[in-house]
Amino acid sequence: MTDAKQQIDETVKSNDVVLYMKGTKSMPQCGFSSRVAGVLNYMGIDYKDVNVLEDENIRQGIKEYSDWPTIPQLYVKGEFVGGCDIITEMTLSGELDQLFDENGVTYDKDAADKIRQANA
């Protein structure tokens, strides 16, 4: 396993929720990363953000690790969940809440409901 893949594997498996993104949770540097980080931040999720712009090996490695061509990428309990479109759909359908519930991830249920109400 390459160094980047090993580093990604360790990060994904040692944190309950990880977002590989362009920028950081407090300063996203692309609209898609901003949308997913915004949802997670609003819902009060405790997650690790990994800025792929800081390391080209991680930026390419995460695409190979997940076999998914785009960033951002969300992982919950070591499992790849999806990118921006999938996370948006899961948030609006309530599937993301269910995933967090099933994996014991704490989040603000009222905030999740407000997101859905605002997008109804």
Q: Which residues are annotated as part of the binding site?
A: 30
Secondary structure string (H, E, C) spanning 62-111? HHHHHCCCCCCEEEECCEEEECHHHHHHHHHHCHHHHHHHHCCCCCCHHH
CA distances from 23 to 18, 49, 60 (A): 13, 9, 15
Annotated binding residues for [2Fe-2S] cluster: 30
